[in-house]
Amino acid sequence: EPEVTQTPSHQVTQMGQEVILRCVPISNHLYFYWYRQILGQKVEFLVSFYNNEISEKSEIFDDQFSVERPDGSNFTLKIRSTKLEDSAMYFCASSEEQGVQETQYFGPGTRLLVL
Amino acid sequence: AQSVTQPDIHITVSEGASLELRCNYSYGATPYLFWYVQSPGQGLQLLLKYFSGDTLVQGIKGFEAEFKRSQSSFNLRKPSVHWSDAAEYFCAVGEGRGGADGLTFGKGTHLIIQP
């Protein structure tokens, strides 16, 4: 069964450093998402992406964050200058079609720790 | 804005016993409701979803959920749990505005299965 993959599984970085989290969505999917979960808190929507553009973003997704589809398979989340509060599990998801009724398939997550 | 509450952080159930995980949502219109499960080291896997129609929804792995508008609830049930059901369970709601919509998740319920 096709699945969403994410790399790395864990990343440790120093405050102020840039990090790039990578995701490979399911190959025929056209809509991509990033979510995060701070330890002990809810999974929160960050951003959705379609046709090389951001479709929707939450208030969490400020200028420190950016997303990109650099090639035909990868979907990345960049945090330009990490803060301690960016420590979280980051989930990538993809769906075949748009609309909330479409199933979003999630990857296993990248656990980011900012020191 | 919509919100999701999962009042139980942890639930312990004996193997073979029945299970009910609670989920309450706050949303003005008819919500799109989901239950996801996350096993250790795995991504979020969709168990079932509700959009309209029959309020009792069947999902994978023997799970079902019932939408009760009067109680703003979407509780997940299983008649007989197996040790492999031990995982984190997330209830989520979607707003259905069109486009690549993000989901709003609850904090999750950690299910522990006793032998």
Per-residue pLDDT of A12-24, as tens digits, reads 999 999 999 999 9
Chains A, B: CB contacts within 8 A come to 83
Which pLDDT tens digit goes with each residue over B44-64?
A: 899 999 988 889 999 999 999
Percent of chain B with pLDDT over 70: 93
- Given a cut of 90, whether residue B41 has pLDDT beyond it is no
- Given a cut of 90, whether residue B101 has pLDDT beyond it is no
B2/chain A closest Cα distance in angstroms: 12
**Pairwise CA distance, residues B32 & B88, whole Å:** 20
Provide the b/e sequence for A69-85 (b: ≥16 CB within 10 Å). beeeeebbbebeebeee
**What number is the average pLDDT over the span A75-102?**
91
Banded model confidence at residue B99, pLDDT cuts 50, 70, 90: low
Answer with the residue of higher pLDDT: A84 or B40: A84
Q: Supply the DSSP string of A44-104, one letter for each residue.
A: EEEEEEETTEEEEE-TT--TTEEEE--SSS-EEEEESS--GGG-EEEEEEEESSSSTTSPP
Given this model, what pLDDT does residue B98 score?
53
CB atoms within 10 A of CB A99: 16
Average pLDDT of every residue of chain B = 90
Q: Is A99–B103 a contact, with Cβ atoms under 8 angstroms apart?
A: no
Which pLDDT tens digit goes with each residue over A58-71?
A: 999 999 999 999 88
- List the single residue in B43, B99, B107 with the smallest CB-CB distance to A55: B99
**By the 8 A CB rule, do B68 and B52 touch?**
no
Given this model, what pLDDT does residue A103 score?
84
**What number is the average pLDDT over the span A73-85?**
96
**What number is the average pLDDT over the span A42-58?**
91
B53 touches chain A (CB under 8 A): no
Answer with the residue of higher pLDDT: B94 or A32: A32
- Given a cut of 70, whether residue B65 has pLDDT beyond it is yes
Q: Which of A6-10, B11-15, B96-100 is the least confident region?
A: B96-100
Best residue of A21, A39, A42 to probe chain B, by most B CBs closer than 10 Å? A42
A95 touches chain B (CB under 8 A): yes
Calculated CA dihedral for residues B31, A110, A28, B97, nearest 10 degrees: 20
A68 touches chain B (CB under 8 A): no
